[in-house]
């Protein structure tokens, strides 16, 4: 009877240890698979972020070009207004001189 009990205990111990080794191997396999998937998602996310960054840069460049064009137009308008004000100032001076002088 003692031999049968020790045999059963040995078989159960061997099964448990084998199960633990199998479980460890299984966990290691799933861990490496999960690590590979995480790296793949990270690479995809990096590519997506780079693409969005490039789109944003191109839009910023386009807007900068439009702003520069508007600045040029404002400079042109400022020069025209300065010329008109100078002309008006000269006419007022002539008018005042005629009346005061």
For tokens 């008006």, name the residue: 88
Q: Tokens standing for 88? A: 């008006």
Regarding pTM above 0.85, the answer is no
Burial class (CB in 10 A: 0-12, 13-18, 19+), 44: exposed
95: left (phi over 0), alpha (psi -120 to 50) or beta: alpha
With 70 as the cut, is the pLDDT of residue 101 above it? no
pLDDT in tens, 40-96: 999 999 999 999 999 999 999 999 989 999 999 999 999 999 999 999 999 999 999
- Cα separation, 25 vs 32, whole angstroms: 11
The 10s digit of each residue's pLDDT in 9-34 is 777 776 766 666 777 788 888 888 99
How would residue 2 be classed by pLDDT, with cut points 50, 70 and 90? confident
């Amino acid at each position: 009877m003692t031999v049968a009990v020790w045999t059963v205990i040995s078989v159960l111990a061997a099964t448990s240890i084998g199960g633990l080794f199998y479980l460890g191997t299984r966990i290691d396999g799933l861990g490496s698979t999960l690590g590979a998937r995480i790296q793949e998602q990270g690479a995809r996310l990096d590519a997506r972020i780079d693409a969005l960054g490039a789109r944003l840069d191109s839009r910023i460049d386009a807007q900068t070009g439009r702003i520069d064009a508007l600045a040029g137009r404002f400079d042109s308008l400022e020069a025209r207004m300065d010329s008109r004000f100078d002309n008006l100032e000269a006419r007022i001076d002539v008018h005042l001189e005629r009346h005061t002088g």
